[in-house]
A and B are shown apart, each in its own frame.
Chain A
Amino acid sequence: MPDITNTFCGIKSPNPFWLASAPPTDKKYNVVRAFEAGWGGVVWKTLGEDGPPIVNVNGPRYGAIYGADRRLLGLNNIELITDRDLHLNLREIKEVKRDWPDRAMIVSIMVPCEEEAWEAILPLVEETEADGIELNFGCPHGMSERGMGSAVGQVPEYIEMVTRWCKAHTRMPVIVKLTPNITDIRYPARAAKVGGADAVSLINTVSSITSVDLDTFSPEPSIDGKGSHGGFCGPAVKPIALNMVAEIARDAETAGLPISGIGGITTWRDAAEFMALGAGNVQVCTAAMTYGFKIVQEMIAGLEGWMAAKGHASLDDIVGRATPNVTDWQYLNLNYVTKARIDQDACIKCGRCHIACEDTSHQAITNMVDGKRHFEVIDAECVGCNLCVNVCPVEGCIEMVQLPAGDVDERTGKTVQDDYANWTEHPNNPSVVAAE
């Protein structure tokens, strides 16, 4: 059986599945249930500075978008950091860590952007014997209006400054949690590294309004007829998160900086994809909030099963394996020519491939052949775009097949070449550097 024990910036856990800082990790009761279910670690819900706790709204905190059959695809929240007393949280963190020493216990922190505030809280957290801290520079709602959360995360200089303070005032590993609500994720990641961060985690939630009530014209979730932007998460944000993880993993300036991947991870596959793109482990929230803690068992079994089938002995064998395959568009091989192929036995004749291609793309799929309903690719028109694959309801029914070298692409009339050729060398590129 493959070894899925995880060591992330020195912090050990029996598997790479942590619960992200969020409602599921707000108190001992939930965290103990999570550990009983098998989670490898938790990031305790964000602690604020000592004193009267923040208050949450007393109306709806969440909004959602759905796919077919009311599958939850995305969740939005306007909940703030923990609204429980700091010392109660610290006491429970200590108890849980004592009772579950093999699990990773990370404490998320968000206090005002002043060194004294960080200097005050860090020893209190250290005293719990937690394994590390995560700096919440990501929360996009509520706290950001008070100069915390993403208000810090959107300014690389602040990230570097606060990270430096934390490294100066604690021996614990420091993970900097990044907001996706910026233009280029590499800048905050570089700032964290320069500030001495042991790792980054991303993404935090995306600023969002999930829907509008068309009777009251209030955004959702609606609090007495008004709404405020919240943080969006769940399966819908996974592609955004994957790209940001990859951007950091392949950036020369942050190379080697451990990444804890977050964003819509729902199954073992999602987790494996994040890790392949460079995440050393993953954090999960929405999937647990949708289905409960038991999903981790599917994740563990699925990851182990896939690793065993592929001969991967440990997580080191998979982390970052896809990173070198992420490149810039200009380096993609323009001599790689594909055509869609429809498996007529699998085809259920819904016609979606046809209408998608006909109305919105390249008129490359028939709908009628010899008076019969029949969907077939017209190679002379097919650009290999993959839209038909994406809209087909039957998995595996349509595949993109590579034309072997020597074949003629009926669309272009050109013979497919064996060699690699990209845009930088293409004659249509005005910036092309002519071969000497």
Chain B
Amino acid sequence: MGAAPDIRYSDGIASGRLSAEEVAENFGDIHPPLDQHEALVAADRCYFCYDAPCVTACPTEIDIPMFIRQIATGNTLGAAQTIFDQNILGGMCARVCPTETLCEQACVREEAEGKPVLIGQLQRFATDQAMREERQFYSRAEASGKSVGIIGAGPAGLACAHRLAMHGHDVVIYEAKPKPGGLNEYGIAAYKTIDDFAQHEVDYVTAIGGIDIRYDTALGKDVSLDDLRAKHDAVFIGIGLGGVNALSVEGNDLDGVEDAVDFIARLRQADNKSDIAVGRDIVVIGGGMTAVDCAVQAKLLGAENVTIAYRRGQEHMNASQYEQELAATTGVRVRHNLQPKALLGQNDAVTAIELEYTQVADGKLSGTGQTITLEADQVFRAIGQSFEADLSDAGIDMTAGRIATIGAHGQTSAEGIWAGGDCVAGGDDLTVTAVAQGRDAAENIHAALSGVEV
């Protein structure tokens, strides 16, 4: 008689492929924080450049050489304030920013030695200390008597709310979900933000006062733009992208086929990650950060074979170089130039995916007609999110499927309505960009409410 079958290698979607201890270890902090010594060594490498390229590369324009110099001189809380002055969500950005394509790519030591200063980790070192000590650097200005409604408690909405509260305005945030944070809470791999950091950060940001968050309150369902315009002196929309792009292939409705964002959110909200069931053979369709977050986490839960299938070449992947390497080192196989053709199933459950090779001719992507079939008891769609709200009745112009803004401060075509974050057109779908847009819109709203010509 043989040994009992190992659950790790059982077919179908199952939980408990790894022990709770293994899962806990796999989902530990991906970048353990720098200790004091490591931070000082890292800080010493900064050259305090003039008109530093890292600052230019940061969407929130944090004065990076200054905060690193402050760390180096033992003024860590001062460093935190330098960061928060520009980016009140500097703690989360330190964790999730693709620094290798932003500040650290621009670092002159990247040019000099191929080893940039560890800007992201130093930012985390400083902001962690301030948040651990619950040190608040900002207080509210005298009450303005004005009120601003913000839709969405994600990075853009929170950054906007904090800056408005600072200027003395009362803020009400209307959040569709039962918890604040937006993608920080629901849309980012768990190993990037452990220990409920997103919620701690919201508490830290809202501790300034004057910010009232109303949960389970969705735009278009529980509140309308007209209501909010009537109730508030200004409105900021930061609702992100609620929808996901559809996959129009046969078998899309089979059991075991799911949107990657739902899987990521489920994992983040799970009290016990080892309860989350995953397949043995998984295919993730897509090439962005969401695809990688999904695939890596599936692997960390014990899936045996995880493949990312991306329809274009490696150079077009939206996932950063670092993310692609993370996928590879976790054991995820990334395959390029493969597009989904059909999902195959048995008894209503997916069993395989048929993929067609692609080529680019005259700049146009097309299938070659050749296919391969990969076994798959679970398939995730990670082919992009889309803006789903209809705001045309409110007189808000849209462009490329998202909200069109006028000028650099988030004003929309509708008077008294600003917008920022992933829901506006022309962005790069980064947390740090959402923070910058929320902050800048707040300054513009403040100017408008103060009677300054904007």
Contacts and interface: CB of A to CB of B under 8 A. Distances in A.
A351 interface: yes
A436 interface: no
B37 to A, nearest CB: 9
A69 B41 contact: yes
A350 B45 CA distance: 12
A363 B51 CA distance: 16
Contacts of B52: 351
A393 B47 contact: yes
Contact of B49 (A68, A69, A352, A394): A352
A355 B50 contact: yes
B6 interface: no
A367 interface: yes
Contact of B50 (A68, A354, A393): A354
B44 A68 contact: yes
Interface in B35-88: 40-41, 44-45, 47-53
A1 interface: no
- Give 9 nearest A-B pairs by CB, closest first: A351-B50, A355-B50, A348-B112, A68-B44, A350-B49, A348-B108, A350-B108, A348-B111, A350-B47
Contacts of B51: 351, 355, 367, 373
Interface string A62-76: 000000111000000
Interface string A382-400: 0000000000011000000
A348 B41 contact: no
A394 B112 contact: yes
A352 B50 contact: yes
B117 to A, nearest CB: 11
B214 interface: no
B109 interface: yes
13 contacts: A69-B41, A69-B44, A69-B45, A350-B47, A350-B49, A350-B50, A351-B50, A352-B47, A354-B50, A355-B51, A367-B50, A367-B51, A373-B53
A426 interface: no
Interface string A340-356: 00000000111110110
A171 to B, nearest CB: 53
Given A351-B51, A373-B51, A373-B53, 4 more contacts: A68-B44, A349-B108, A350-B47, A393-B47
| Interface residue tally on A, bucketed by range | 10 to 19
A129 to B, nearest CB: 49
B321 to A, nearest CB: 21
B212 to A, nearest CB: 42
Nearest to B48: A352
Contacts of B112: 348, 393-394
A68 B48 CA distance: 13
B49 A351 contact: yes
Contacts of B41: 69
A37 B196 CA distance: 56
A355 B48 CA distance: 11
Contacts of A348: 108-109, 111-112
Nearest to B110: A348
Contacts of B53: 349, 373
Contacts of A373: 51, 53
A61 to B, nearest CB: 24
Nearest to B41: A69
Nearest to A359: B50
Contacts of A394: 112
Nearest to B37: A70
Contacts of B48: 352
Interface centre among B41, B45, B47 (most CB of A within 10 A): B47
Interface string B103-125: 00000110110000000000000
Contacts of B44: 68-70
Interface centre among A351, A373, A394 (most CB of B within 10 A): A351
Contacts of B109: 348
Nearest to A368: B51
Contacts of B40: 70
Contacts of A354: 50
A180 B54 CA distance: 45
Interface centre among A350, A351, A355 (most CB of B within 10 A): A350
Interface string B250-261: 000000000000
A394 B112 CA distance: 8
Contacts of A350: 47, 49-50, 108
A232 B111 CA distance: 38
Interface centre among B50, B53, B108 (most CB of A within 10 A): B50
Nearest to A358: B50
Contacts of A367: 50-51
